[in-house]
């Protein structure tokens, strides 16, 4: 449904720009949007993700993630009964939740990705 709406909007924009003789403005807007997407969003997100993935590796190698996981184990065992105690997915989920509670959404992303990877290894059913 949304794909159809998106295609309709793009086609309508191109047709209206061609009909009104304003293709130069359409091309300029397309290029500005692409530039903004790359430089303002992607490069900043790559920097933040690289920082927190490095931080996650240091925390993981220092054993802090396991300590934090053990500290909040009574709560997480009830929230996630299908994840065995001490599994790497539990540590990643706890770090993700902690970052989200602190309002660090970009920092939570790498932890969430790691948690999903670990949960994928834990369960045989693919794609969920």
| Contact (CB, 8 A) for 117 and 87 | no
Tell me how far apart the alpha carbons of residues 60 and 56 are, in angstroms, rounded to a whole number: 6
What is residue 48's predicted lDDT score, i.e. its pLDDT? 76
pTM: 0.52
pLDDT of residue 84 exceeding 70: yes
In this predicted model, what pLDDT tens digit does every residue of 12-32 receive, in sequence order?
989 999 999 999 998 999 999
DSSP structure class, residue 86: T
Torsion sign over Cα 47, 52, 53, 54: positive
CA-nearest of 125, 128, 126, 94 to 112 is 94
| % of residues, the chain, pLDDT over 90 | 18
Domains of the chain, residue spans: 2-122
Tell me how far apart the alpha carbons of residues 26 and 23 are, in angstroms, rounded to a whole number: 5
pLDDT top residue among 29 and 48:
29
Tell me how far apart the alpha carbons of residues 51 and 114 are, in angstroms, rounded to a whole number: 15
Q: Across all residues in the chain, what is the average pLDDT?
A: 84
pLDDT top residue among 59 and 126:
59
């Amino acid at each position: 449904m949304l794909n159809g709406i998106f295609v309709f909007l793009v086609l309508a924009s191109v047709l209206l720009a061609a009909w009104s003789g304003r293709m130069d403005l359409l091309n300029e807007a397309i290029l500005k949007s692409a530039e903004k997407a790359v430089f303002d969003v992607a490069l900043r997100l790559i920097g933040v993700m690289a920082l927190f993935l490095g931080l996650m590796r240091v925390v993981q190698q220092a054993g802090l993630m396991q300590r934090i996981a053990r500290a909040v184990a009574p709560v997480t065992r009830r929230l996630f009964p299908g994840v065995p105690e001490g599994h790497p997915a539990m540590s990643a989920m706890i770090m993700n939740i902690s970052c989200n509670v602190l309002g660090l959404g970009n920092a939570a992303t790498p932890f969430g990705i790691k948690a999903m990877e670990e949960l994928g290894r834990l369960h045989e059913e693919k794609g969920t």
